Structure 1
Amino acid sequence: MTSSPLVTIIIPCYNVEKYVAFCIDSIINQDYENWECVIINDGSTDNTLEILKSFESISPKIRLFNQKNAGLSATRNRGIDLAEGKFLFFLDSDDILDKSAIRTFVSSFENNDIITGITVSSKINKEAISKISQLYSPKEGEIFFVNNHFDVLIRTMESALTPVAQNRLYKREFIEKNNLRFKEGILHEDELWFFETMLLARNVKFIDKETYFYRTDNSDSITKNISDKNLNSYLDILETILEKYYINNTDNLTKAVAARYLQYLKKLVIDFAIREKNRLSDVSRIKLEETLKKTHTKSDNFSLLTHKNETYYKALNKLSLFPFQTIEKHFFRNPINSIRKQYKLLIINFFLIIE
């Protein structure tokens, strides 16, 4: 692009006094000038608000709002409503941007609904950024998806693209046209947001540039504090996709994609429940069994994935009808790349009997 459209960077903040200055500094130091930063203090009880006020006084581009605690989804939604830019960008308050991130996104724009950069897991301190690893992105590096046949979601089910909201430049017109908002009151809201945005978007672009540094050393992150709410949120997402995009859906292709994505999420949910079972209650385990059965889908005539993955997700769909103890015994993550996994697949498909 030759023009310099306004980009709204949305940052929800809750008790991030240790990290938020690094985050905002990375915005102020951007080599792209036409940005605004909508910062929402979500009822912090530490010194976060005082730090944010000090930054607000530095730059008129920073718009600070304060509210009672409402959660990440509600706060991001308020940020969308307050945004004035042509593009939206979500930034977590403990992460930082590469100095050229926004310029890289804007200069890569080709009438895309969504553009995604490379996210790098990192340890961040005053002296340096210590890179650990890149989150999953397309193997081709830079790639453009017309996405008429839900190519991004299919690629995700085939090779696990990271389902996050941040580090993506969204055309605001696309967000508003489709009335897209984060589901409130749950954790792991990015899983649902990713599905809905990539289901509806056309012209999705991935760029081969490191633009975002994700902090791994935040002890307050939800990934470090597991409870029943984590599992219940995943189950809520499964039910939402079932009800909004599978049941009563008259478009057979969309319905088939939703069905397979349900199985893809089930893989993640079951793996989570097995891994964290000692931190989850019996009540949540019972709800898991009920939801897995409720979100069982019927077979169809589409072949959207590779044969191995179609076979795997079909087996997982069947396995989800059994009690958790049976699921735990037979579950495995794809790919099917060993004799042991082939044997387990055979057992699920031909020898497990639903009573």
Structure 2
Amino acid sequence: MLNPEKAIISTKFALQRQSVENLLLEGSDFLNRVILPHPLVWNGLFKKDFIAKNSLSFRKDAWPREDLVFHLDMASANFYGVYTGENTYVYRCALPGSLSNSISAKTVNNCIFIARAIREAISGIRNEATLDICRKELSGTINAIFSYIPRLSLDNQKTLLTEIDKILSEQYFKEIEGLESPSTRFYKKSQSLYRLASALFRLLLPKRYRIN
């Protein structure tokens, strides 16, 4: 049986939070210093009436980053938070083949939804520290999309790239300027060449690396 006391891992995020332990922080400060650097929903305990009052919920199309979108939705709420170093949650590491470790065409499609949700959050955020975190999350999401697409079937590539062409406007790329991956920069430079290269890459890719 797992012994929680021996299974505790102090991450860099936990160490960063030690400086604000037991301090009452205003909402944006709490998000920036405690939640958003590692935005997992089991990072905190939330009052039920706070969730109801602000109509907070997990958006099913935001998987596997529904917790990030949940926390970004909190950015417009008025609240205070306190960080405690007390261990209140025992996290069971995900197993190979588990839902959290799987990638499918739906995962990639959801990344488009997640990018839109982050972009919507950016438009309403005035705190510069929060904006900086959001831009990094947006770049990570968009970069993930363009790294996954060459691993998809040709039909899924066509469908998703058509959707991406409609949704990812120039404004999205302005938000992540300087944070793009080589794949994202390739798409920005020539969408037609990216499509051709993705199709060829999929044909040459060993089956074990393909996303179905």
User: What TM-score do you get using the length of structure 1 for normalisation?
Assistant: 0.41
What secondary structure is seen at the aligned counterpart in 2 of 1:263? helix
Q: What residue in structure 2 maps to residue 264 of structure 1? A: 136
Q: Distance in 1 between matches of 2:56 and 2:22?
A: 24
Q: Distance in 1 between matches of 2:104 and 2:49?
A: 37
Whether the aligned pair in 1 keeps the contact of 2:23 and 2:83 (CA below 8 Å) is yes
* Pairing partner for 1:197 from 74, 91, 98: 74
| RMSD across aligned positions (CA) | 4.0
Q: What residue in structure 2 maps to residue 208 of structure 1? A: 85
Q: Distance in 1 between matches of 2:32 and 2:73?
A: 13
Q: Distance in 1 between matches of 2:172 and 2:119?
A: 9
Asked if 1:172 corresponds to 2:172, the answer is: no
* Pairing partner for 1:144 from 16, 23, 26: 23
What secondary structure is seen at the aligned counterpart in 2 of 1:235? helix
Q: What residue in structure 2 maps to residue 154 of structure 1? A: 32
Q: Distance in 2 between matches of 1:267 and 1:229?
A: 19
Q: Evaluate the alpha carbon distance shift between residue 202 and residue 191 of structure 1 in structure 2; reply closer, same or farther with a 3 A threshold.
A: same
Whether the aligned pair in 2 keeps the contact of 1:231 and 1:273 (CA below 8 Å) is yes
Asked if 1:131 corresponds to 2:10, the answer is: no
Whether the aligned pair in 1 keeps the contact of 2:149 and 2:157 (CA below 8 Å) is no
Residues 106-129 of structure 1, C-alpha deviations (whole Å, 9 max, x = no match): xxxxxxxxxxxxxxxxxxxx3545
Counterparts of residues 21-40 of structure 1 (less than 5 Å): none
What secondary structure is seen at the aligned counterpart in 1 of 2:45? strand
State the 1:192 CA deviation: 0.1
Q: Distance in 2 between matches of 1:198 and 1:137?
A: 21
Opposite residue 316 of structure 1, the aligned amino acid is L
State the 1:221 CA deviation: 2.8
Whether the aligned pair in 1 keeps the contact of 2:94 and 2:101 (CA below 8 Å) is no
Q: Distance in 1 between matches of 2:183 and 2:138?
A: 8
State the 1:153 CA deviation: 3.8
Residues 283-339 of structure 1, C-alpha deviations (whole Å, 9 max, x = no match): 43564565443552778xxxxxxxxxxxxx55237x998443869xxxxxxxxxxxx
What secondary structure is seen at the aligned counterpart in 2 of 1:208? coil
User: What TM-score do you get using the length of structure 2 for normalisation?
Assistant: 0.63
Asked if 1:226 corresponds to 2:103, the answer is: yes
Q: Distance in 2 between matches of 1:163 and 1:194?
A: 7
Residues 233-259 of structure 1, C-alpha deviations (whole Å, 9 max, x = no match): 22212212434651xx5xx725x6675
Say which is worse superposed, 130-139 or 176-185, in terms of deviation. 130-139
What secondary structure is seen at the aligned counterpart in 2 of 1:146? strand
What is the aligned residue count?
181
What secondary structure is seen at the aligned counterpart in 1 of 2:26? coil
> Which stretches in structure 1 are left out of the alignment for 5+ residues?
1-125, 300-312, 328-355
Q: Distance in 2 between matches of 1:289 and 1:144?
A: 45
Opposite residue 154 of structure 1, the aligned amino acid is N
Opposite residue 268 of structure 1, the aligned amino acid is G
* Pairing partner for 2:187 from 324, 329, 347: 324
State the 1:164 CA deviation: 1.4
Q: Evaluate the alpha carbon distance shift between residue 315 and residue 202 of structure 1 in structure 2; reply closer, same or farther with a 3 A threshold.
A: same
What secondary structure is seen at the aligned counterpart in 1 of 2:23? strand
What secondary structure is seen at the aligned counterpart in 1 of 2:38? coil
State the 1:202 CA deviation: 2.3
Q: What residue in structure 2 maps to residue 39 of structure 1? A: none
Whether the aligned pair in 2 keeps the contact of 1:227 and 1:279 (CA below 8 Å) is no
Opposite residue 173 of structure 1, the aligned amino acid is D
- Return the structure number with greater strand share: 1
Q: Evaluate the alpha carbon distance shift between residue 273 and residue 229 of structure 1 in structure 2; reply closer, same or farther with a 3 A threshold.
A: same
Q: Evaluate the alpha carbon distance shift between residue 275 and residue 133 of structure 1 in structure 2; reply closer, same or farther with a 3 A threshold.
A: farther
Opposite residue 114 of structure 2, the aligned amino acid is I
Greater relative contact order structure (CA < 8 Å, 6+ sep)? 2
Larger Rg computed on CA atoms: 1
Opposite residue 50 of structure 2, the aligned amino acid is F
Residues 107-154 of structure 1, C-alpha deviations (whole Å, 9 max, x = no match): xxxxxxxxxxxxxxxxxxx35456273453352422535225x22343
Asked if 1:253 corresponds to 2:132, the answer is: no
